Amino acid sequence: MKITHLLTVAGCLLLSSNFSHASNLQKVDAAFVLSSYAKTKYPIVFAHGMVGFNRLGSDALGMDYWYQILPDLARHGAQPWAARMSPFNSSEVRGEQYVQQLQEVMAITGANKLNLIGHSHGAHAVRYAAGVMPQHVASVMTMGGANQGTVVASDVLQVANSTGTSELLNLLISSFGKVILWAQGLDGDSFPHDALAAGQSTSIEGTAEFNQRFRVGLPLTACGEGKVYEQGMYLYSMTGNKAVTNPLDPSDAAMQALDLLSAHKAGKNDGIVSVCSAKFGKTIRDDFAWNHLDEINLLFGIKGIFAPDPVAIYRQHANRLKLKGL
C-alpha cells in the first residue's frame, strides 16, 4: 500500500467518530466504517454508574466515560448510544431517567427493541428497564454491576449514620454531582441529586430490597449463574477482579484504598464491586485483570500490561449479540 493511502486511512480513523447530542443522549456515528463485525440488529444503549457522565470537556479534548468504546463500536457497524443520568440518586430515579431515554432512542431510530449495557450502579438502571419494559429489551449486560450491592456503600453509610455526618456528606457529594454536570456543559440542577439515596441503593441492604422487585437475571444460587434467557431477553455479565492493575494509573490508588477499607470483605473484587455481586445472567468472564475503572477503559485506556483490551471485549460482545440476531 502506498504511503499516501496509509496516511489517508490513518486520517480517516482519527476522524471516524463524531458525537451528536439528542436531549441527554449521546450518539456516536462513524464517518469511516471498518467492518460490520459489531453491527447488531438493535441499537446499544449504555448506562453509566455512580459519579458517571457522558463526556467531560469539549468534543475535541474531553474524556468519555466509556473511553474509546462507543467510537470503536460505531466503526464496526453498531449503533451505540450513551444515556445520561443523575451522578448521584436512587436506583429508581436513575432507572426512570434511563427508561425515558430508551424511549427516545426507539422514537429516533424506529427500533422496537434495544440492547442494554450498564456499568456499576448503571447495572441497576438496565435491570430496572428490563423489569418495566421487557418487551422492548433484546439483551442486558452488566459490567462490574453492583447486582448484590457493595460493602463499600454499606460501610460509608454506617460511618455517616453513626457519626451524625450523613446530611453533611449528602450536601458535599450532591454538590460534587452538580460539578460533574457543569463539566458536561449542563446546569448543575438539570438532574436531581441525592447522595444518600445513591449510597442506600448500592448498599448490600438497599440492593436486597431492589432485588425483591427486579429479580430477572439474578443468580439461582449464591455467587452462581442466572438464566441466560428470561422473559424474551438474553442476559449476561462480566467483571474484573483486581483492585490495582497498573502503578502508572493514578486512579489505581483510589481502587486500592477502597479495597483496603471495605471491598476486600466480600472476597475477590475490582476495588469496589465483588465478583459475586457482579453475577447476573450468564457470566461471560469474571476474572478479567481489570479494576472498576479499567472495565470502562479509564483512565485514558491505562491498564495492566497483559490485561485484555476493554474496547475489544465490548466489540466482541456486540458480535455475540449480532450472531444471536439481536
Q: Which residues are catalytic?
A: 120, 270, 292
Instruction: Name the amino acid, one letter, at 153.
Output: A
Q: In whole angstroms, give the CA distance from residue 134 to residue 232.
A: 7
Report the alpha-carbon distance of residue 49 to residue 305 in Å, rounded: 25
Hunting for cell 418495566 — which residue is that?
132
Task: Give how far the C-alpha of residue 130 lies from the chain's centroid of Cα atoms, to the nearest Å.
Answer: 15
- Burial-class residue 2 by CB neighbours within 10 Å (0-12, 13-18, 19+): exposed
The beta strand positions in the chain, using DSSP E, are 17-22, 25-30, 44-47, 55-56, 63-64, 80-83, 114-119, 137-143, 229-230, 233-240, 282-288
Q: Do 266 and 258 contact (CB within 8 A), yes or no?
A: no
Burial class (CB in 10 A: 0-12, 13-18, 19+), 7: exposed
Q: Which stretch of DSSP H or E encloses residue 7?
A: helix 3-14
> What are 138's three cell numbers?
433484546
First vs last C-alpha separation in the chain: 36
Give the integer Cα–Cα distance in Å for 190 and 86: 9
Residues 6+ away with beta carbon under 8 Å from 46: 66, 69, 70, 80, 81, 82, 83, 117, 118, 119, 122
Q: What is the dihedral of CA 302, 307, 311, 312, to 10 degrees?
A: 150
On the CB side of 178, CA atoms within 13 Å amount to 12
